A and B are shown apart, each in its own frame.
Chain A
Amino acid sequence: MTAVEPPILLDQLTLSYGPHRVLDALSLAVAAGSITALLGGNGAGKSTTLSVLLGFARGDAGRAAVCGIDPGTDPDGARRRIAYLPENVALYEHLTAVENADYLLALSGQRQPRGAITDALAAAGLQERAWHQRLDGFSKGMRQKVAIAVALLRAVPVLLLDEPTSGLDPRATADFNALVLQVRDRGTAVLMVTHDLLSAADVADRIAFLEAGRVRHEVLAEGPDRFDVRALHARFQAGEAQAAA
C-alpha cells in the first residue's frame, strides 16, 4: 500500500459473467475515516462490488485493492483487513452473544479476552442482559450490534456493509448509523451498499450512484444539511428508471 492509496480502491474494474457485463470500468476509492454509500437498483453491481473486495469474485480487467492487497490473489490477506456485515446478520442461534463474538474473533485470528468482548458489546449498544443470552430471540438490530462489536474489536481498516438498515425500524436505524459513525471516527474506511437513501444521506460522507456497473454520479456531503435529499431521490429514481429500461 502506498502512502496515498486509500484502503478501498477500485480502478477501472471490469467483470463479466458470460456475456453479461456486471462491472464496467468501475472506479471507486474510499479513504480512511470516511463513509461512502453506494446506491443503485437491483443488478447495478453493488453486491458484485463487495464480492470483488472480499475475494469471492475476480475482475476481468482493472484493479481492486484492500489496503494495497489484491483480494483476487490474496483473499485471506484482504479479509484480514475487512469487517463485513451482510444484509441479514446470521449468527449461531445456539451460542450466546459473547460466544458468537468469541468464535468470530477466533475465526478472524484476532482473539480477545472476555472483558474486551463485553466492553465492545456495550459500546455497540447491546444491553448487558443480552450478552449471555442465546441468539435465537435476538432481533436483526441486536444481531447487528453483535457483528459491529466484532468489527470494533477487530479494529480493521475496512468495513463493508451490505444493506445494513433494511428491515430496521427508524430507532434501530439511527442506533446503527451512530455505531457506523463511531467506527468511521476510529479511522475505518466504510463502504455501505444500500437501497436506503435516507439512511445513506444521514451517515455517508459521499454517495455514489452505481448504474450498470459504473459510478455515474457522486455527491459529497456539504454544509449542515449534508445532502439535498430531494435531488438525491430524483437522481436515484432516474437511475432506477434507466436500469429498468
Chain B
Amino acid sequence: MTLFLHEVRLLLRQRLTLLSLALLGLLTVAALAAGMAEVARQRAAIAAIPAAQAEDIGAIAAWVDQKKDAGSAAYYSFHATWDPPAPLAFAALGMRDVAPYILRVRALGLEAQIYDGDTFNPELALPGRFDFAFVLVFLSPLFVIALFHDLVSGEREAGRQRTLEALPRGGAALWRRRTALRLGLLWATLALPFVVAAVVEGVGAPAILLVLVVIAAYLLFWVALAALVGRLRWSSVANAATLAAAWLVLVLIVPTLANVLINQTVPVDQGAEIALAQRDAVNRAWDIPREATMRRFYAAHPEWADSPPLGSQFHYKWYFAFHQNGDEAVASRVRAYRAGLERRDAAGRALGWLLPSVGVQALLTRLADTDLAAQLAYQDRIRAFHARLRAFYYDYLFHDRPFGKADFDRAPRFASPETLSRS
C-alpha cells in the first residue's frame, strides 16, 4: 500500500470526514439535479412556445380576418420572445429564476411589458437559489473548515505530532500530503458530479475545465486561510471558531454590506416604477388632444408622417402612437436604470477581485450566461424584435392597409441566439 493510500485509509476511517464528504456529495448532487430540473423546465416551456403561439395567433387571425383591421391584429396578438438557457445554466441559475426567460410582447408600449415582471420577481427571489454555485460559494467553505481546522492541531492535541514529525517522511511533507489529499477529496466530491452533469447537459470541454479550475482555486483559498489560522497554534476548537467567523464575514456579512453600500452609492429606479411611469404617461394621453399626440409622434418618427389625418372615429394608430410616446417619455429613465444596473454590476465584479465568494459567483454566472449582462442582452433582443414588430404593424396602421389572415404569416419571428456558441 502506498503512503498515499495509507493516508486515504486513515482519513476515511474518521467518521467526521466521511460524514462531511458524504453530505457535501449529497448536496452537490441535489443542487445539480435541482439546476438541471429547472433548466429542463425552462427548455420545455420554450419548446412549447411555437405550438402555443400558433394556436394563439390562429384564434385571433380568424376574428381579425373578418374586419381586416390591422389595429385589432396588432392589439390582440402576442408574440413570444425567449432566452434559452446556455448549457452551463444548470450550474449557476443566476437571474434566470427571477428574471423572465419568456416574454410575450405586443406592439404596444414596451417598457411596461418589459418591467411588468419586476412586481412579482422579488417574491421568486425570496426562497433563494439552490444550485451548484450556491453549494460551491456558500457551503463548500464549511466543509473545508470541517476537514482542515484540526489538520495539525488535532495531531498535537492527540499527542501524535512529535511522533509523526520525528519520522523521516512525517514533517512538512506529511502536512503537504494530507492537505493535498483533503483538498483533492473535496474537489472530487464537487467536481465529479459536476462533470457528469455538464457532459449530460452538453457543456463544452473548455467551460468544464474552467469551472474545475474555479472550484480548485476557491477551495484553495479556504485551505490557505485554514493553514494560516493553523499556524497560530491555537486549539482545534479555536481554529474552527475562527474559520467559521471568517466564513460568516467573507461569505455573508461583507458581501451583504457591500451590496447595501453599492446600492446606496449607485441609486437606480425600480423597474416597476418605470413600468408605472410609462402607464401613467399612456393613461394621461387619453386626456391630451389627439392631434397633439400625433404631432409629437410624427416629430419623433417622420417616416410615418405621410399617414392620412385622423378622422373623428377611434383609430388604432393614435392608440399605438401614444403608447410609443409613453415609451419615449420614460426613455431617459430606462437609460439611467440600465446604466445604474451596469454600474452596480461593475462594482460587484470589482468587489469579486477582493472577495473570492463574490468573484466566483460572478464568474460562474458569467460562464453560465445567467448574469445581469445576459439579462440585459435578452432585453436588447426583445427591444430589437419589438421595433421590428412595430414597424410591421405600423405599415398597415399608418397606411390604412387591410390586415388579413395571411398577413400574420408575414409578421416578424423572434430568433434566439444560438445557445451552443455561448457556452
Contact = CB atoms under 8 A, between A and B. Distances in A.
A107 B160 contact: no
A23 interface: no
A95 B10 contact: yes
Interface in A99-144: 99, 102-104, 106-109, 111
A92 B171 contact: no
Interface in B323-346: none
Contacts of A106: 1-3, 6, 169
Contacts of A92: 10, 13, 160
Given A56-B165, A76-B171, A109-B169, A95 B13 contact: yes
Contacts of B164: 107
A86 B162 contact: yes
Interface string B1-44: 11100100110011000000000000000000000000000000
B162 A107 contact: no
Given A94-B13, A95-B13, A104 B167 contact: yes
A56 B10 CA distance: 25
Interface in B150-168: 158-160, 162-168
Contacts of B216: none
Interface string A77-99: 10110101010111110110001
B313 to A, nearest CB: 90
A90 B160 contact: yes
Nearest to A78: B168
A104 B13 CA distance: 16
Contacts of A75: 171
Contact of A79 (B13, B160, B167): B167
B169 A107 contact: yes
B146 interface: no
A95 B12 CA distance: 11
Contact of B167 (A56, A77, A94, A107): A107
B246 to A, nearest CB: 29
Contacts of A147: 163
A142 to B, nearest CB: 16
Interface string A55-86: 01000000000000000000111011010101
Given A75-B171, A86-B159, A90-B160, A103 B166 contact: no
B163 A109 contact: no
A54 interface: yes
B1 A107 contact: no
Contacts of A84: 162-163, 166
Contacts of A102: 1, 6
Contact of B174 (A54, A95, A107, A111): A107
B170 interface: yes
Contacts of A95: 10, 13
B10 A103 contact: yes
Indicate the size class of the contact surface on chain B: 20 to 34
B171 A91 contact: no
Contact of A107 (B14, B158, B170): B170
Contact of B169 (A54, A90, A108): A108
Interface in B210-238: none
Contact of B158 (A56, A80, A90, A111): A90
B3 A86 contact: no
Given A84-B163, A86-B159, A90-B158, A109 B14 contact: no
B6 A80 contact: no
B205 to A, nearest CB: 37
A79 B158 contact: no
B18 to A, nearest CB: 11
Interface in B261-309: none
A103 to B, nearest CB: 5
Contacts of A99: 9
A111 B13 CA distance: 21
Contacts of B165: 54, 56
Nearest to B170: A107
Nearest to A89: B163
Interface hub of A84, A90, A108 (most chain B Cβ within 10 A): A90
Contacts of B14: 94
Contacts of B174: 107
Given A95-B13, A107-B174, A79 B166 contact: yes
A90 B174 CA distance: 17
Contacts of A107: 3, 6, 164, 167-170, 174
A89 B159 CA distance: 8
Contact of A91 (B1, B13, B160, B170): B160
Contacts of B170: 79, 107-108
A129 B338 CA distance: 76
Given A94-B13, A94-B14, A106-B3, A80 B159 contact: no
B394 to A, nearest CB: 78
CB-CB nearest 8 A-B residue pairs: A90-B159, A84-B166, A79-B168, A107-B167, A80-B168, A90-B160, A94-B13, A106-B3
Interface of B: 1-3, 6, 9-10, 13-14, 158-160, 162-171, 174
Given A92-B13, A92-B160, A104-B163, 18 more contacts: A54-B166, A76-B169, A76-B171, A79-B168, A80-B168, A82-B166, A84-B162, A86-B159, A90-B158, A90-B159, A90-B163, A94-B13, A95-B13, A99-B9, A107-B164, A107-B168, A109-B168, A109-B169
15 contacts: A76-B168, A76-B171, A79-B167, A80-B168, A82-B166, A86-B159, A92-B10, A95-B10, A99-B9, A103-B6, A106-B1, A106-B2, A106-B3, A107-B167, A111-B1
